[in-house]
Amino acid sequence: MTILSIDHVQLAMPEGGEENARAFYVRILGFVEVPKPAELAKRGGAWFESGNVQVHIGVEKDFRPARKAHPAFIVDDLDALLETIQAAGYEADVSQPPLEGFKRAHVFDPFGNRIELMEKT
């Protein structure tokens, strides 16, 4: 048995955060919202995709942000994206040391979940 790929990453948010999720994941990061199956839509949350990257944002009753665990997204213009993120008032930590072949930064979604952004150098 071999794991072939990741289907999606799930992050959590508090109840009623869908519009904040859309503002960040669609308007800032450039994801497209995709419809959730009807049975799952009853639970709230939202699903987003960009190319073959899928992010599901689910409602968690006793929500606490993931400040350490995180997805890492490869981007094509890290500096421009960071300007957009910071201009919109979202938290960003641009002091991350580079990894071989990448420059990177950590940003935080509207709920405080950490996301790593990486650009190939």
Domain boundary assignment for the chain:
9-120
Cβ within 8 Å of residue 20, ≥6 positions away: 13, 110, 111
Rounded to two decimals, the pTM is 0.94
- Per-block average pLDDT, block size 10, for the chain (121 residues)? 93 98 98 97 97 97 97 97 97 92 97 97 93
Measured in Å, how far apart are the chain's first and last C-alpha atoms?
Answer: 34
Both tokens of 121, joined, read 């150098």
The pLDDT value recorded for residue 4 is 87
Beta partners for residue 73, in sequence order: 117
Place of tokens 């094509």: 76
Question: What integer pLDDT is reported at residue 105 of this predicted model?
Answer: 97
Which CATH number is correct for 9-120, 3.40.50.150, 2.30.30.40, 3.10.180.10, 3.90.1170.40? 3.10.180.10
Which three-class secondary structure state does DSSP give residue 37? coil
